[in-house]
Chain A
Amino acid sequence: MSWEVVIGLEVHVQINTATKAFCGCSTEFGSEPNTQTCPVCLGMPGQLPVLNGLAAEKTILTGLAINAGINLESKFDRKNYFYPDLPKGYQISQFAVPLVEGGYLDIPGKDGGEKRIGITRIHMEEDAGKSMHEGLDGVSHIDLNRSGVPLMEIVSEPDMRSADEAIAYLKQLHQLIVFLDVSGANMEMGQFRCDANVSVHQPGTPFGTRAELKNLNSFRFIKQAIEYEVNRQIELIEDGGEVVQETRLYDSAMGESRSMRSKEEAHDYRYFPEPDLPPLRVTQQQVDQIRAGMPELPGQLRHRFEREYGLSSYDADVLTQTRALADWYESLVAAHPSDPKRCANWLANELLGRLKELGKEIEHSPVSAHRLAGMLDRIADNTISGKIAKDVLDAMLASDADADAIIEAKGLKQVSDSGAIDAIIEAVMAANPDQLAGYRAGKEKLMGFFVGQVMKASKGQANPGMVNQRLTVLLKG
């Protein structure tokens, strides 16, 4: 039997405002527990919430970026449940009329095409606090610094048909969120969290019963969890069983999920309109203003890089992963305009790898775009070879010196003087009479041997193009 997988995703994104959704408490991450709380986010009686305007703007911006409609009047509701990290006993959310409705994202599909994933809605809500259970006997500890931090929940249509499609959608959404600067979107810090609704059915028949997977906090775990769940459901059905609608918690250490049955009982959220908040009204003019301030989006940027700088789609993709990286690349090209592809190669293939080893993002690169451009200029004018340039780059990362100073101090200038290169070649030929005889007897593969020896004898400083050219002449004798 062939099974079709159906996946819908709910993504909670922490909006990166300085203050919480409904009070003036800081949202800074990693502070001492419970130092960023007030009577509003602690759920004290008689306190009234007031919505953070910037959180609404950022939600609208996200909505516009996914081609969705903005409800000029949206409403807040209470979602009721009991848990100690939810001090009010309800979460302020949007149920009946969310701020954003009906959008989509196009993800890379089969055969180089695109696949459209529908986005049902984006609504605003508030985060809960944090519960800690580990190493505690019979008690839990609660930190409410996160209580009331603004979230947007982005709900997709059940349009994905494999774990890979789900991951492609999530990566695209993640990148978009980062570009829009609406969230830090750091998954380890819980700023971008995913729940997956997974079911299987025979194509042409109604959708199967779905299970909801919670606690998915890395792309790798999401893929594993979905694949595990798909197999579990297929085996269950093929063994004559039935999938029950339930919430399952994925345990990444065990590589399996288990049912959270107790959660089912409490699943009756009894939504009702939040009496403390009148409707959120925005004008079309405000929406247009937000649209006018929309930054260039990843897809647009990628296409522009291919067109304007002649980059491969792979390089364009790598260099547009973050806005900061794209900006850095463009500063590099501005400083070394003669060869945008060389800029792309050195940034994507050399600098980024070294930064990764140093645990640094491009924003904190010890080598500025201007300094790197100075080195690319020396490659362009044949002062150094690409091979030597890698050593120069290492030296630049370890000091504040610019490329010229390093080349000068270390005597790395490339030897392009044919007399000097000929002298080295003559010496190498004299030192290797057997290989020379072999080459002259027709073993042309030995060319590589001589190139290697000459480069070694010149400490890598001989101009490789000239070495090749002179060797071809001189080896023939």
Chain B
Amino acid sequence: MDIDVKKVAMLARIRLTDSEADELGPQLGNILGYIEKLSEVNTDGIAPTAHPHDAAMPLRANVVTNSNRRDALQAIAPRVESGLYVVPKVIE
């Protein structure tokens, strides 16, 4: 299976050298080719599996349970200013 490794890497924000891309291409192709075998199974009349557990979703009550833990949560942020996370400029 032929894969545009560079595009996949770009979408995943992973920087690859050309040689890494050349090496990973066939590996990813093998994995997908292996998964592709599943399409040989006859699934007529079988409902798609949405989730491995056949459980309905538990729901949360609409009640505030979290208080302000900004200081603790921001302790691991690389850069913070006046309570805001600071990131490299992202707008064009």
Q: Does B59 contact A139, Cβ atoms closer than 8 Å?
A: no
Judged by a CB distance under 8 angstroms, whether A310 is at the interface is no
Pair A141/B50 contact, Cβ less than 8 Å: no
| B37 on the A face (CB < 8 A) | no
B residues neighboring A (CB under 8 Å): 7, 10-11, 13, 50-51, 53, 55-66, 68-70, 73-74, 81-92
Say whether A262 faces chain B, with CB atoms less than 8 Å apart.
Answer: yes
The 4 closest A-B pairs by CB, nearest first: A24-B65, A53-B59, A54-B62, A141-B84
CB pair B11 A268 closer than 8 Å: yes
- A53 touching B55 by the CB < 8 A rule? no
CB–CB A132/B84 < 8 A: yes
Chain A hits for B73, CB < 8 A: 34, 37-39, 42
**Can you name the residue of chain B whose Cβ is closest to the Cβ of A150?**
B62
Tell me the chain A residues, 60-101 only, with Cβ under 8 Å from chain B.
73, 75, 80, 82-84, 97
B87 near A281 with CB under 8 A, answer no
Does the CB pair A24–B63 fall under 8 Å? yes
The residue of chain B having its C-beta at the shortest distance from the C-beta of A131 within the complex is B90
Q: CA–CA, A36 to B70, complex, Å?
A: 8
Q: How many residues of A contact B (CB 8 A)?
A: 55
Contact partners of A275 in chain B: CB under 8 A: 51
Tell me which residues across on chain B come within 8 A of A18, comparing CB atoms.
62-64
Judge whether A446 is part of the interface by a CB distance below 8 angstroms.
no
A-side interface mostly: loop
User: A51, A97, A273: which contacts B59 (Cβ < 8 A)?
Assistant: A51
- In the assembled complex, A50 has its CB within 8 A of some CB on chain B: yes
> Would A52 and B90 count as touching, CB distance under 8 A?
no
A139-194 interface (Cβ within 8 A of B): 139-144
Query: A278 an interface residue at 8 Å Cβ cutoff?
Result: yes
13 further A-B pairs in the complex, CB-CB below 8 A; given A56-B59, A73-B50 = A18-B64, A25-B66, A34-B73, A34-B83, A37-B70, A51-B60, A54-B61, A84-B90, A143-B84, A262-B92, A278-B51, A279-B56, A279-B57
Shortest CB distance B65–A (Å): 3
Q: Which residues of chain B have C-beta atoms less than 8 A from A34's C-beta?
A: 70, 73-74, 83-85
The verdict on A237 contacting chain B, using a C-beta distance below 8 Å, is no
Interface residues of A in 233-255 (CB under 8 A from B): none
Bound-complex Cα distance A26 to B68 (A): 10
When the two chains form their complex, are residues B85 and A278 in contact, meaning their CB atoms are under 8 A apart?
A: no
Chain A nearest Cβ from B66, distance in angstroms: 5
Which listed residue, A19, A140, A262, touches B89 by the CB 8 Å rule? A140
* Distance A142 CA – B57 CA, assembled complex (angstroms): 31
Instruction: Write the A186-229 contact mask toward B (1 if CB under 8 angstroms, else 0).
Output: 00000000000000000000000000000000000000000000
A-B contact pairs, 5 of them (CB 8 A): A18-B62, A19-B62, A24-B64, A52-B60, A144-B85
- Bound CA span A266–B13, Å: 11
Q: Judging by beta carbons under 8 Å apart, are B84 and A138 in contact? A: no
**Is A38 a contact of B66 with CB atoms below 8 Å?**
yes
Q: Are A139 and B57 in contact (CB under 8 A)?
A: no
Q: Is the CB of B87 within 8 A of A140?
A: yes
Which chain B residue lies CB-closest to A266? Answer: B11
Any B CB within 8 A of the CB of A280: yes
Bound Cα distance from A140 to B84, whole angstroms: 9
Q: From A18, A132, A141, A265, name the one whose CB has the most chain B CB atoms within 10 angstroms.
A: A141
Measured CB to CB, the nearest residue on chain B to A80 is B11
Give every chain A residue within 8 A of B63 (Cβ-Cβ). 18-19, 24
| Contact indicator A26/B66 (Cβ below 8 Å) | yes
**Is A141 within 8 A of B86, CB to CB?**
yes
Cβ-defined partner of A270 (8 Å) among B11, B50, B53, B56:
B11
A133 at the interface (CB under 8 A from B): yes
Compute how far the CA of A268 lies from the CA of B12 in the bound complex, rounded to whole angstroms: 11
